[in-house]
Amino acid sequence: MKISKEILKWYDSNKRDLPWRITKNPYKIWISEIILQQTRMEQGIYYYNRFISKFPNLESLATAEEKDVLIIWQGLGYYSRARNLYYTAKHIFHELNSKFPESYEELIKLKGIGDYTASAIVSICFEKKYPVLDGNVFRIISRIFEIKNPIDLNNSRKVFKKKASELMPNTRYGDYNQGLMDFGSMICKPKKPLCSSCLVSNKCSAFKNELVTFLPVKTTKNKIKILYFDYLVVNNANHMLIEKITDGIWKNLYQFPVKMSSSKKNRSEVVKFFLKKYNLDSLSLRIINSKPIEHKLSHILIKSTFWFTKEKLQIKNGLFTTILEDYPMSKLMHKFSEKYHGKYIFSEVKMVN
């Protein structure tokens, strides 16, 4: 039996019961695919249900406030995904007369939609023959065909894409793509794959040649960069000073004013920075956490120190609020709030799960 037929047969008896599998609505499939990037399945299900109950259709997302979209996304990370969803929903609503594109070529032009998402949408919703290429598919193909090209190199992509296209069946493209992804996360897993119960083991070159643990190949791991964030905690009679972030991965979220550096700063350097930033004559700071609160992003480790000032600062055009939970904030801000709520801040930065 062909590999694709085996995968479809396996999918029919083992497919996961997931909330987006009951629909072929391209809006909902798009949301699910974007949420699932860089997200564990369990967390993805929670956020999908949360997102869809707030924004059940394209119109509701396109006509929302960006702040409300980011609030729903809080805690999920990689916020550019939420900003792009919002941007693209508006674009489809206003420029495409709310008609969700049905072709790969049209979809790939949209902000935040790449080869993977476009292929997933057209195969699942419109039964078009486009292979998806995610981490699961790279791993399965590299093992079955013993392909040793490093999967994290751009020029390997062509090789895998070609193989993935050749493997596709002539029917049920959406089911096949989803089957391959389920098979990758349940059977051909990154660590300890279940080769003894794998229905394609007789066709798997890595299994035959005992190379499973060596595949797929990756180039050397990226180095983790360390950044130091020094936050200024200003509490003027329970009015907290916050700022809107204007660029970077947390763009359009809010946080306490911060000094970001690639090396650790001492108190006088932090004071000097904020004196200049706010054009102040004096500023006395007390350290809140001598042990940095750490937050890991994909290739960055943030070590953050929070500094408290008792002074009632007069900040021109400063955004002071008594209700922090009205503003979308990063997980790092939530971590601080969880630890120090009640002592330095009295309005909560709410965790969403």
How far is C-alpha 301 from the chain's CA centre? Answer: 16
Which residue reads 């790969």 in tokens?
104
Among 6, 33, 65, 106, which one carries the catalytic annotation?
33
Q: Would you say 250 and 332 are in contact if contact means Cβ atoms under 8 Å apart?
A: no
| C-alpha span between 13 and 183 (Å, rounded) | 11
3-state SS, residue 248: coil
Residues near ligand SF4 (CB under 6 A) are 140, 143-144, 187-188, 193-195, 198, 200-201, 204, 206-207, 212
Nearest in space to 77 (alpha carbons), one of 119, 40, 103: 40
- Count the neighbouring beta carbons within 10 Å of the beta carbon of residue 258: 17
Spell out the long-range contacts of 317-322 with Cβ–Cβ below 8 A and sequence spacing 24 or more: 318/241, 318/278, 319/241, 319/242, 319/243, 319/244, 319/254, 320/236, 320/239, 320/240, 320/241, 320/242, 321/239, 321/240, 321/242, 321/347, 322/238, 322/239, 322/240, 322/347
Closest C-alpha among 296, 229, 276, 291 to residue 256? 229
Among candidate residues 208, 252, 234, the one with its CA nearest the CA of residue 86: 252
Per the CB < 8 A criterion, the answer to whether 115 and 157 are in contact is: no
First-to-last CA distance in the chain? 45
Closer CB to ligand SF4, residue 71 or residue 180? Answer: 180
**Catalytic annotation present for 102:** no
CB 76 within 8 A of CB 43: yes
- Active-site residues, by number, are 33
